[in-house]
Amino acid sequence: MDLKTAEQRVHELHRLLNQYNHEYYVLDKPSVSDAEYDELMRELQALELEFPQVKTTDSPSLRIGGEPLEAFVKVQHTIPMLSLGNAFNEDDLRDFDRKVRQAVGENVSYVCELKIDGLAVSLRYENGVFIQGATRGDGTTGEDITANLKTIRSIPLKLQKPFTLEVRGEAFMPKRSFEALNKAREEQEEEPFANPRNAAAGSLRQLDPRIAASRNLDIFLYSIADLGETGVISHRDGLDLLDELGFKTNHERQHCKTIEEVIQYVEGWVGKRPDLPYDIDGIVIKVDSLQQQEELGFTAKSPRWAVAYKFPAEEVTTILRDIELSVGRTGVITPTAILDPVRVAGTTVKRASLHNEDLIREKDIKIGDHVVIKKAGDIIPEVVNVLEDMRTGTETEFKMPTECPACDSELVRIEGEVALRCVNPKCPAQIREGLIHFVSRNAMNIDGLGEKVITQLFQEQLIKDVADLYFLEREQLLSLERMGEKSVDNLLQAIEQSKENSLEKLLFGLGIRHVGAKAAKTIAQEFGTMDQLVQVQNHELEAINEIGEKMADAIVTYFDNEEVLELIEKLKRAEVNMEYKGPKRIKLDEVDSYFAGKTIVLTGKLEQLGRNEAKEKIEMLGGKVTGSVSKKTDLVVAGEDAGSKLTKAQELGIEIWDEEQLVKELTR
| Cβ atoms within 10 Å, residue 486 | 11
Q: How far apart are CA 254 and CA 606, in angstroms?
A: 38
Q: What is the helix (H) or strand (E) element at residue 508, kind and residue range?
A: helix 503-509
Q: How far apart are CA 2 and CA 48, in angstroms?
A: 13
Q: How far apart are CA 622 and CA 590, in angstroms?
A: 10
Q: Comparing C-alpha atoms, which of 569, 565, 538, 572 is closest to residue 554? A: 538
| Cβ atoms within 10 Å, residue 13 | 21
Radius of gyration of the chain from its Cα atoms, rounded to whole angstroms:
28
Question: Catalytic site residue 115?
Answer: yes
Q: Kindly report the backbone phi and psi dihedral angles of residue 123, in degrees, each rounded to the nearest multiple of 5, phi listed first.
A: -120, 130
Residue type at 620 in one-letter notation: M
Residue type at 193 in one-letter notation: F
Would you state the torsion angle of the CA atoms of residues 184, 190, 192, 198, taken in this order, to the nearest 10 degrees? -100
Q: Exposed, middle or buried: residue 542 (CB in 10 Å: 0-12, 13-18, 19+)? A: middle
Would you state the torsion angle of the CA atoms of residues 501, 506, 509, 515, taken in this order, to the nearest 10 degrees? -120
Q: How far apart are CA 74 and CA 135, in angstroms?
A: 10
Which candidate in 55, 74, 99, 115 is catalytic? 115
Q: In what order do the strands lie in the sheet with 655-658?
A: 624-626, 599-603, 635-638, 655-658
Q: Which residues does 292 contact at the CB level (< 8 Å), separation at least 6?
A: 100, 104, 108, 305
Q: Comparing C-alpha atoms, which of 645, 668, 662 is closest to residue 229? A: 645
Q: What is the helix (H) or strand (E) element at residue 453, kind and residue range?
A: helix 451-459
- Known catalytic residues? 115
